[in-house]
Amino acid sequence: MYSNQKTVAGADILEIKEKLDSLTDVISDLSSPPEQIILNNQELPILLKVSKKTLQKWRDTGIISFSKIGREIFYKLSDVIETLDAHRQERVHKR
């Protein structure tokens, strides 16, 4: 083994596998209508490529709709798409 290589612990591999399984579920659900797709607070930041802190800020400021059941937070994909459309900036043509 090279000195600069890191070993991956079994717990790390399990965590990576869980995230991949979760994303696989999201991707397979994309064939469903957006109003039927529910994302949790672990899936949406990965899908949007933003941090959980950014999502929290968006929730706190009312930018994004969500549901909270107990300690769990959920988002409807249709609401996420609606939010993205509402904040869409048209491309400015420079000449």
pTM tops 0.75: no
Q: 3-state DSSP call for residue 68?
A: strand
Q: According to the model, what pLDDT value does residue 60 have?
A: 97
> Is position 82 within any domain?
yes
CATH of the domain at 57: 1.10.10
Q: Could you tell me if residue 94 is inside a domain?
A: yes
Q: What is the pLDDT of residue 67?
A: 97
Give the mean pLDDT of the chain. Answer: 83
Q: Establish if 70 belongs to a structural domain.
A: yes
- DSSP 3-state of 74: strand
Q: Is residue 5 part of a domain?
A: no
Split at pLDDT 50, 70, 90, the class of 21 is: confident
Q: How many domains does the chain have?
A: 1
pLDDT in tens, 29-59: 667 777 788 999 999 998 899 999 999 999 9
Asked if residue 2 has pLDDT above 60, the reply is no
Report the 10 Å Cβ neighbour count for 31.
Answer: 7
Nearest C-alpha neighbor of 19 from the set 45, 51, 38: 45
- Domain residues for 89? 33-95
Report yes or no on 10 lying in a domain: no
**C-alpha neighbours within 13 Å on the C-beta side of residue 26:** 20
What are 44's two structure tokens? 């949406």
Q: Is residue 9 part of a domain?
A: no
